A and B are shown apart, each in its own frame.
Chain A
Amino acid sequence: MAIRTVRYRDQQQDLLKAYITTQPECLEPAVIIEGANSTGKSYTLQRYLWTIRNDVLTFTIDCNSCVSKKELLQRILRYLANIYRIEMNESITSVINKCIGLSSFTESLKQIIQLNKNQNTPKRKPKPKKRGRKRKRQAEDEDEDMDEHMVDTDDQVSSKPIVIVLDSLDRVPINNDIGNICFALSRLHEQDRLFDNFSFVSIVTRSDILDLSTSGIPTITFTPYTPDQVISIISDSILQKKWIQLQANGTHMKESTMKTFIKTYVKLIYETYYSYFGTDIKLIMPVLQKLWPLFHNPLLEAKSTSGKKIDALSVFMKLKPYLTEISLVDQLDNSQSDIVKVIEQKMAESNNQKTLQNTTTTTTNSSIAREDLDHVNQLSTRTKYLIIAAYIASVNDPKFDMHFFTKHKDTRVKNRYKSANRRTKVVGSMAANSRFYCPQAFTLERLLAILSSISDSHDGVKLISDVELMSEVATLTTLKTLVRSRANDSIGGHAKWKCNVRWSIVKQLADEVGFEITNYIEQDGAIS
């Protein structure tokens, strides 16, 4: 029994061994490997192929970068020519370029195999040994010796089974044809005896899209890892001795303690983001790398200052509120953002705020994110009204403005009743309101009208449409609080605006200025 090299994949490795053998006559002409992302399909296959590398020739084509069937087939031919060590001259390039589809693929393939055979045939003739020649001839002799060496290897090459791995075949943008390619390649050995030692392994996310259930191509399914397995795999992959030593160097920890620390770190971070990443190791690994300094720095600091012992859980508990923030999760898959810096900043800001809160003994019961709170506190009352007006303009349909911002209360009530009636009629078929997809665009005039109306009735101070108001609008635009559509159209007057502030912040602003915003929202139940 051969050694199994990949953990938790014993079944799959046994199947690989049975289907992809080193004997050409037992080798399956085609194998499909299916499984969700990050289930170890390519890794397991590559590890297995590595174990049989002396008996089998193999190459992998990443189908993610193939834009068409033609390119995929040509790439197979190019890789094959490379394996046969055929020089890429004009003739071979023209042979490859002639392949424009499956019908010409067999011909090009045959020609390449034939070229390889021809390349080897004359070299098999025994050559007299040439020794003690002049220098002039020396270079030629060396070339010939090299060729002789090549003959042996090439001879082996042409007789060995060739396993061609088509990785991510389902990503080729020729959706309807993938099944056909797969099927045709599985029958390649029937076309000519020259193709007898080829085997194609297709790696796909799901095999049912290929429509090959009756073709009988052996399929190996990779089931998802369980969370425990994921934690174990990640821990083992990062617990390399050198790296551990490096990490333990600047700290007071021993290697064994460091290992435990890292294992706990992996477990805690994985569990924190499990609902977002699932069992996708590829997604979680970069995050672990990104967040590691947040856990490692306290260890370094502890050594330089007090020398007190620190465990991963205590560090995690300190960081937990910041790690689970939505704004941070949004940035997790962004490779360019420096999460560590962001979190450290937030921690510093939070500490400052706490100090301030202690001195002024003000209580705020908001659940708004900290960075939003900061911005909110800095705004003037008029700007707050401006944002509130923008939000109302974004959410409400213009036809209801009349009812909300007019003094004819009867009309308002009546129409409200009507609109409520209308709404109840469509309940049951769940009216998909387009207002909730994204904020509605509004004109500047409408915004100013609403602003004028709400500030008149609540602030008591009449709004003056001055330059300052316009500059405030411009400032909010720069801060992306208001977003202007058709940015290039500065003359046409078609510019429209959108409010880019969420409900929780607007509610906070409204509460601060004592404005009952819910009275002015058309359907407040659906917003938040």
Chain B
Amino acid sequence: MTIQRLTNQHEEIFEERYKPQILTKLSHRTTNGKLKIPLYKLNKEQDSVFRIIENTIKYKESKSCLILGSRGVGKTTMLSNSLIDIQNLYENQYITIKLNGGFQDDDGSAIREIARQLDWFLMSHGLTQEIMLEVGSTSGIMARIMKVIDPSLNDEDDDNIEKEGWKELMKAIKLLRRYAIVIIIDEFEKFTGNSKQTLLYNLFDVAQSSNSVSLKDNEIGLKSAICVIGVTCKTTVREQLEKRVKSRFSQRIIQINKVKTLDEFCELCFHLLKIDSIGNDKVEKQVVNTYNERIKQLINQDGSELRKLIVKNFYTVKDIRSMKNSLKPFIFNFILDYKENDDEDINDKLLTNLPKHSDNNSSFKLLHSLSELELKLLICCARVCYKTNLDTINFGVVYEEFVQQSKHERQGLNNRLHTVGKVELKEAGWRGREVAKVAWEQLIMKGLLCGGGAGALVGAPGGRGGEGGQVQCDLGLAEVAVHFTGENEFGNFGWVSQWCKL
């Protein structure tokens, strides 16, 4: 296909209008619920989530379900998309409460968070002027929340009926009951940690029981309904639920899987990168078509950097988030108007400049930042661990090994010098204990020696003989040796292989 010559106008339109669109799709902010993000092959799942929520709002049917899937497959985005659709259809008919196991790590804080969000809803809609629900103890708050979500509880049975503000509270609760409540629990597995699982029990119980209550048509409007949606990446989460909780859960599970074949993965990447909306203007159409064609070509063309990146990702981590991280700088620097006569697409070269993402231990990345003394001490740590079969070591033993090793090195050097008739060396490198202690502390700070905690620092109180506690070496001799072969841009590291030999 011949690609039309593009003008500056095309480039401007692409830069100003379409590039931000693609970058938004590639951002991790797609879960904020502002924009509807088209998802690849998830329409069915999205539809079922939509229907669950819609039924709760429209027919006051309480529901519960779990969305399972590994990280980055689009669980939260799919849910946000459904909520956007719901918002368009049923505005002001429901309340969304969002919980996240990362923030609310126990039942108490989650209960308070629910109350807070309900209070915010009341105040932001001008229904009340002050905090009504999030007052007092956790059990009191829970009781109030239950009154909101469970209409079967009789208001007249309340012990606090005589208390001041009770009437206002009941008024607020009655107001809230008019709305369907959608509770989204992200990182759902965090709430299964405690033995009682009180929160989950109560929520699932209400979702189950209120569903079974049959009401007349004229009562539907007054009945509250809740929809509990758990989102998690732990596939075994259902087994973690306590028996009573599990029995109250509706067992509705929406499982989202990663794509299975490379072609699908390529399609998914194209889906991420393509421009969806096409304007009516002829120039805009040209821009969109040219861009989409070019991206498709780069993805499908054998040997292109983009294809290499996709294939590598597919066969290693198959992680779309990591893919997004790599693609974002690529699109950020993408130039629509590349020269037609060039053999290679200059955009493809952009990917070669990207840093190579290695999922290796960070210790390897830090190795080249070490000074010679630090590196020697680290090697000595590995030597001592290897020789003594010990897991933990301390500064004294390592320093002793370091001295021995330095001495050995000096002797070897002297022998060679003697052979060629040169003057012998008297000193070899730094051997001051104080200097070595500083280097030791640096290694601990960098995490290359770990498990020591504060006591591991040299001279820390409580350390053995004032020379620190026990630490573990993060690297083995072979691992260090592999990273230093001969001379490189960081200097000559020929000695490393000698030190790594036992």
Residues of A at the B interface (CB closer than 8 Å) are 1, 11-12, 14-15, 17-19, 21, 23, 25-30, 34-39, 101-107, 110, 173, 180, 183-184, 186-187, 189-193, 196, 205-209, 213-221, 223-224, 226-228, 274-280, 326-327, 329-330, 333, 367, 429-430, 432, 434, 436-438, 526, 528
Chain A residues near B324 (CB, 8 Å)?
216
Task: Say whether B372 faces chain A, with CB atoms less than 8 Å apart.
Answer: yes
Taking A206-B446, A227-B490 as known contacts, 15 extra A-B pairs with beta carbons closer than 8 A to each other, sorted by chain A number, are A18-B329, A19-B329, A38-B369, A39-B369, A107-B116, A180-B105, A189-B31, A206-B447, A220-B355, A221-B365, A275-B373, A275-B430, A276-B439, A432-B400, A437-B396
Task: Say whether B418 faces chain A, with CB atoms less than 8 Å apart.
Answer: no
Smallest Cβ-Cβ distance to A214: which chain B residue: B71
Whether A223 and B365, one on each chain, are in contact in the complex, defined by CB atoms closer than 8 angstroms, is yes
Smallest Cβ-Cβ distance to B76: which chain A residue: A190
Contact partner of B102 (CB less than 8 A), chosen from A14, A187, A206, A207, is A187
**Which residues of B, 301-333, contact A by the 8 Å Cβ criterion?**
319, 321-322, 324-325, 328-329, 332-333
Indicate the size class of the contact surface on chain B.
35 or more
**Which residues of B, 80-124, contact A by the 8 Å Cβ criterion?**
98, 100, 102-105, 109-110, 112-113, 116, 120
Q: Roughly how many angstroms separate A280 CA and B363 CA in the complex, as a whole number?
A: 17
Whether A367 and B333, one on each chain, are in contact in the complex, defined by CB atoms closer than 8 angstroms, is no
Q: Roughly how many angstroms separate A329 CA and B436 CA in the complex, as a whole number?
A: 11
Task: Say whether B432 faces chain A, with CB atoms less than 8 Å apart.
Answer: yes
Given contacts A14-B353, A34-B362, A106-B103, contact A209 B447 (CB under 8 A): yes
Contact partner of A28 (CB less than 8 A), chosen from B27, B102, B357, B466, is B27
Q: Roughly how many angstroms separate A434 CA and B110 CA in the complex, as a whole number?
A: 54
Whether A205 and B366, one on each chain, are in contact in the complex, defined by CB atoms closer than 8 angstroms, is yes
Chain A residues near B363 (CB, 8 Å)?
206
Would you give the shortest CB distance from A355 to chain B, in whole angstroms? 23
Chain B residues near A180 (CB, 8 Å)?
102, 105
Per-residue CB contact flags for chain B residues 404-427 toward chain A (1 = under 8 Å, else 0) read 100100000000000000000011
Contact partner of B29 (CB less than 8 A), chosen from A28, A183, A228, is A28
Task: Say whether B34 faces chain A, with CB atoms less than 8 Å apart.
Answer: yes
Whether A18 and B332, one on each chain, are in contact in the complex, defined by CB atoms closer than 8 angstroms, is yes
Given contacts A14-B333, A333-B438, contact A186 B105 (CB under 8 A): no
Given contacts A25-B24, A221-B365, A327-B432, contact A11 B354 (CB under 8 A): yes
Contact partner of A101 (CB less than 8 A), chosen from B109, B321, B355, B467, is B109
Whether A26 and B20, one on each chain, are in contact in the complex, defined by CB atoms closer than 8 angstroms, is yes
Given contacts A206-B366, A216-B319, contact A438 B467 (CB under 8 A): yes
Per-residue CB contact flags for chain B residues 191-217 toward chain A (1 = under 8 Å, else 0) read 000000000000000000000000000
Task: Say whether B28 faces chain A, with CB atoms less than 8 Å apart.
Answer: yes
Q: Roughly how many angstroms separate A104 CA and B407 CA in the complex, as a whole number?
A: 59
Whether B371 and A274, one on each chain, are in contact in the complex, defined by CB atoms closer than 8 angstroms, is yes
Contact partner of B430 (CB less than 8 A), chosen from A14, A38, A276, is A276
Task: Say whether B431 faces chain A, with CB atoms less than 8 Å apart.
Answer: yes
Smallest Cβ-Cβ distance to A23: which chain B residue: B20
Chain B residues near A223 (CB, 8 Å)?
365, 368
Q: List 8 A-B contacts (CB under 8 A).
A: A28-B28, A28-B328, A187-B102, A192-B98, A207-B362, A367-B426, A438-B396, A438-B465
Residues of B at the A interface (CB closer than 8 Å) are 20, 23-24, 27-29, 31-35, 70-72, 76, 98, 100, 102-105, 109-110, 112-113, 116, 120, 186, 319, 321-322, 324-325, 328-329, 332-333, 353-355, 357, 359, 361-363, 365-366, 368-374, 384, 387-389, 394, 396-397, 400, 403-404, 407, 426-427, 429-432, 434-435, 438-439, 442, 445-447, 454, 464-467, 489-491
Smallest Cβ-Cβ distance to B442: which chain A residue: A37
Whether B365 and A227, one on each chain, are in contact in the complex, defined by CB atoms closer than 8 angstroms, is no
Whether A27 and B361, one on each chain, are in contact in the complex, defined by CB atoms closer than 8 angstroms, is no
Smallest Cβ-Cβ distance to B374: which chain A residue: A278
Smallest Cβ-Cβ distance to A206: which chain B residue: B362
Whether A25 and B29, one on each chain, are in contact in the complex, defined by CB atoms closer than 8 angstroms, is yes
Smallest Cβ-Cβ distance to B22: which chain A residue: A26
Whether B328 and A275, one on each chain, are in contact in the complex, defined by CB atoms closer than 8 angstroms, is no
Whether B371 and A214, one on each chain, are in contact in the complex, defined by CB atoms closer than 8 angstroms, is no
Whether A278 and B371, one on each chain, are in contact in the complex, defined by CB atoms closer than 8 angstroms, is yes
Would you give the shortest CB distance from A281 to chain B, in whole angstroms? 11
Contact partner of A226 (CB less than 8 A), chosen from B362, B434, B489, is B489
Contact partner of B490 (CB less than 8 A), chosen from A193, A226, A434, is A226
Q: Roughly how many angstroms separate A36 CA and B374 CA in the complex, as a whole number?
A: 13
Chain A residues near B33 (CB, 8 Å)?
190, 193
Chain B residues near A21 (CB, 8 Å)?
23
Whether B102 and A216, one on each chain, are in contact in the complex, defined by CB atoms closer than 8 angstroms, is no
Q: Roughly how many angstroms separate A436 CA and B447 CA in the complex, as a whole number?
A: 26
Q: Roughly how many angstroms separate A184 CA and B361 CA in the complex, as a whole number?
A: 23
Chain B residues near A186 (CB, 8 Å)?
28
Whether A190 and B31, one on each chain, are in contact in the complex, defined by CB atoms closer than 8 angstroms, is yes
Would you give the shortest CB distance from B194 to chain A, in whole angstroms? 15
Chain A residues near B321 (CB, 8 Å)?
215-216
Smallest Cβ-Cβ distance to B331: which chain A residue: A18
Would you give the shortest CB distance from B105 to chain A, in whole angstroms? 7
Q: Roughly how many angstroms separate A226 CA and B388 CA in the complex, as a whole number?
A: 35
Whether A429 and B71, one on each chain, are in contact in the complex, defined by CB atoms closer than 8 angstroms, is no
Whether B489 and A103, one on each chain, are in contact in the complex, defined by CB atoms closer than 8 angstroms, is no
Whether A190 and B100, one on each chain, are in contact in the complex, defined by CB atoms closer than 8 angstroms, is yes
* Minimum-distance CB pairs A-B, first 4: A216-B321, A278-B371, A36-B369, A437-B396
Chain B residues near A228 (CB, 8 Å)?
489
Contact partner of B103 (CB less than 8 A), chosen from A191, A213, A278, A279, is A191
Q: Roughly how many angstroms separate A30 CA and B31 CA in the complex, as a whole number?
A: 13
Whether A208 and B361, one on each chain, are in contact in the complex, defined by CB atoms closer than 8 angstroms, is yes
Q: Roughly how many angstroms separate A37 CA and B374 CA in the complex, as a whole number?
A: 13
Smallest Cβ-Cβ distance to B431: which chain A residue: A326
Whether A213 and B102, one on each chain, are in contact in the complex, defined by CB atoms closer than 8 angstroms, is no
Smallest Cβ-Cβ distance to A183: which chain B residue: B102
Smallest Cβ-Cβ distance to A209: which chain B residue: B447
Whether B29 and A196, one on each chain, are in contact in the complex, defined by CB atoms closer than 8 angstroms, is yes
Chain A residues near B430 (CB, 8 Å)?
275-276, 326, 329
